[in-house]
Structure 1
Amino acid sequence: MIPDYQSLMRPVLELAASGEVKISDAVSELERKLRLSDEEKSEMLPSGKQTRFANRVHWARSYLKQAGLLRNTRRGYFDITAEGRNVLAEHPDRIDAKFLERYEQFLEFKSRTNVSGVGDVAVENDTTTPDETMRTAHQQIVDALAADLLERLRDSEPAFFEGVIVDLLLKMGYGYDDTSGNILGRSGDDGVDGVINLDPLGVVQVYVQAKRYAVGNTIGSGSIRDFYGALGLKDVTKGIFVTTSGFSPSAKSTAEKLGARLVLIDGPELARLMVRHEVGCRVTETFKVAVVEESFFE
């Protein structure tokens, strides 16, 4: 298990006691000392730009620096201070944010970061860094929004639901322009609910089946075979089956075995896609997260 950033404070301080350390070397050395598995070493943040462990080492170093136990020496390097050595001489069992509150400069830092409401959460929380706290809060908002969207879809009229699915697929990049999708679902349409023309002449098409089912009312293999048959009547090989519920294991297996290219989208995935592509919802506020540009201070 990857240690939380507060548990890394003492190891980071001890590593600096031997002299100036490059931050990337500190990450590698602590990975070795803590015997992290290859999977733990490679676990990335949601941004995909930094490993989770490296991120936590950076935060541990940052908090120790705010308390005056570490100092930056040059770009990407840090060293222990005299006060940092005094702390190690005490042989504390643990160095964490509570421990650092003995230093006035750390309390001032904590007071400053409380202006945004993030610092206090991160300092009091034993396991998450400030950006992890922010991501968790963001995910909770997204999850609540997704659940609300899905509930509203289940309560909507069939034609409205089918229109939402076509709109979503167009937003996702299917079709040659925003007019290339049509709702079907009428007699004579062979049991499909919508179609997306991938080119202006409609030579290549993707057909859509949309099932507005309640929770627990899963789609079975029979419905998949029926949709496959409908695609055969249309002489197409691409289809997207969307539901507000879920698919049984046999339905998933059937979709994989059939010759056509069938994509299955269940309720949770449908809601996530709607949030991502802003269908039925909109972004009201954006927060920018900046980092120090080291080269600026060289």
Structure 2
Amino acid sequence: MTLPTFHEHMLPTLETLSDGQEKSLNEIRETVADMLDISPEDRSDMVPSGKCPRYVDRVNWSVAYFKQAMLVEAVRRGVYKITNRGRDLLGTNPSQIDRQLLMQYPEFVKFITPNNSKTSSDTQTSASAADDTPSTPQELIDDGYQKIVDELADTILSTVKNCSPEFFERLVVDLLLAMGYGGSRQEAGTVTRQGSDEGIDGIINEDRLGLDVIYVQAKRWEGAVSRPEIQKFAGALQGQRAKKGIFITTSTFSNAAYDFTKSIDSKIILIDGIRLSKLMIEHNVGVSTSDTYVIKRIDSDYFHDL
């Protein structure tokens, strides 16, 4: 089942309060999820940031929008009640509530319009644009961030493919160190480049104490790495009496390669080019911060006496 859109969450959210009773935000969320018959799998579907389930985010923003449009009111912290305006709207039997519909309320127009001095035509344009985007503000931020990350990952991968074998060697070591392996560069272990395949082979300590080691191989390839290459790597692990290995490539792995890693006793992790570039972003290797945006939420504990 496909999770209903943000707009499709709105009408059930307001209908949940139609009996006039005060209800907590958690009650509203669960009732809406039941009304929309959201499956357990879809209830666990998280927003891209991983902060909360997507349906929870959509109900939260529905309530927030209704509050701005004065369709509901907060009677106390985290508890809401429908207003006369909200009942009047439900009395029109709307087939759907969306942001364009809410633009009939001046309070919501003021809230949704970044510049309150806009002309009426500008406001109409804003309403149309809002209706064309059935996503919550959090989803828009997360989706925009993910697009930036994906574009950056592609750029990183293209750059890595063009770097020298020596630089690629340092890059892999830097990434493993940033991920917590080896402790320091001096403690990391030994990594030696094999010029014949422009990859690297070596070992790195799994931890700062060197209680275990991990065998590493990396290849700057264009085509998919096939099963025979992983079989050779597994044989190298046996020769080193090692049970853990990381195989890194700038390209991809074949399905047979992945299947092979599941059929052997040794633990071999396959990192393809896309995952390599995203790990570099996650652990700040080869990237720098361009802009920082801090999203704040109300501190309920601060208002505990209200």
Among candidates 289, 293, 304, match of residue 287 of structure 1: 293
TM-score, normalised to structure 2's length? 0.86
- 2:161 aligned with 1:154: yes
For residues 240-267 of structure 1, give each alpha carbon's deviation from its aligned partner in whole angstroms, at most 9, with x where no partner exists: 1100111112222223333322211111
CA shift, 1:223, in A, is 1.3
Match of 1:66 in 2: 68
Amino acid at match of 2:250: T
1:249 to 1:3, Cα distance in 2 relative to 1, 3 A? closer
Q: Secondary structure at the match of 1:73?
A: strand
1:132 matched to 2:139? The reply is yes
Q: Partner of 2:120 in structure 1?
A: none
Percent identity for Structure 1 against Structure 2 = 37
Q: Is contact 1:16-1:80 (8 Å) kept?
A: yes
1:158-169 to structure 2, matched below 5 A, reads 158-169=165-176
Shift of 1:204: 3.4
Taking the TM superposition and a 5 Å limit, the aligned residue runs for 1:45-56 are 45-56=47-58
Deviation at 1:92, TM superposition (A): 2.5
Counterpart of 2:17 in structure 1: which amino acid? A
Match of 2:182 in 1: 175
Q: 1:229 to 1:94 in 2, by over 3 A?
A: closer
Q: 3-state SS of the aligned residue for 2:86?
A: helix
Contact 2:49/2:142 (8 A) holds in 1:
no
Please tell me the residue identity of whatever aligns with 2:220: R
Name the SS of the counterpart of 2:185 in structure 1: coil
Offset, 1:36: 1.6
- Whether the aligned pair in 2 keeps the contact of 1:162 and 1:193 (CA below 8 Å) is no
C-alpha distance in 1, partners of 2:143/2:116? 18
Please, which runs of 5 or more residues in structure 2 have no aligned partner?
A: 118-125
Whole-angstrom distance in 2 between the partners of 1:200 and 1:127? 49
Task: State the SS of the aligned residue for 1:156.
Answer: coil
Contact 2:99–2:127, Cα closer than 8 Å, also in 1:
no
Deviation at 1:112, TM superposition (A): 4.0
Q: Structure 1 residue 157: deviation in Å?
A: 1.4
Alignment match, 1:194 = 202
Mapped partners of 1:274, 1:134: distance in 2:
22
Distance 1:209 1:114 in 2: 58
Matched residue SS, 2:225: coil
Flag structure 1 segments of 5+ consecutive residues without an equivalent: none
Asked if the contact 1:237/1:261 (under 8 Å) is kept, the reply is: yes
Question: Aligned-pair distance for 1:47?
Answer: 4.2
- Equivalent position SS for 2:259: helix
Are the counterparts in 2 of residues 180 and 198 from structure 1 also a CA contact under 8 Å?
A: no
Q: When the two structures are aligned, how many residues end up with a matched partner?
A: 290
Instruction: Evaluate the alpha carbon distance shift between residue 267 and residue 74 of structure 1 in structure 2; reply closer, same or farther with a 3 A threshold.
Output: same
Q: Please list, as runs of the form range in 1=range in 2, the aligned pairs for 1:87-236 lying within 5 A after superposition.
A: 87-112=89-114, 123-181=130-188, 182-186=190-194, 193-198=201-206, 204-214=212-222, 217-236=223-242
Match for residue 29 of structure 2? Answer: 27
Give the alignment's TM-score, normalised by structure 1: 0.88
Distance apart, 1:143 and its partner CA: 0.3
Q: Distance in 2 between matches of 1:106 and 1:28?
A: 26
RMSD: 2.5
Task: Pick which of 91-100 and 65-74 moved more.
Answer: 91-100
Is the CA contact 2:10–2:97 (under 8 Å) kept in the aligned structure 1? yes
Match of 1:2 in 2: 3
Contact 1:246 1:267 in 2 (8 A): yes
The 5-angstrom pairing of residues 239-278 of structure 1 reads: 239-278=245-284
Residue 201 (structure 1) shift: 8.0
Question: Is contact 1:212–1:243 with CA below 8 Å preserved after alignment?
Answer: yes
Note if contact 2:57-2:138 (Cα within 8 Å) is conserved in structure 1.
no
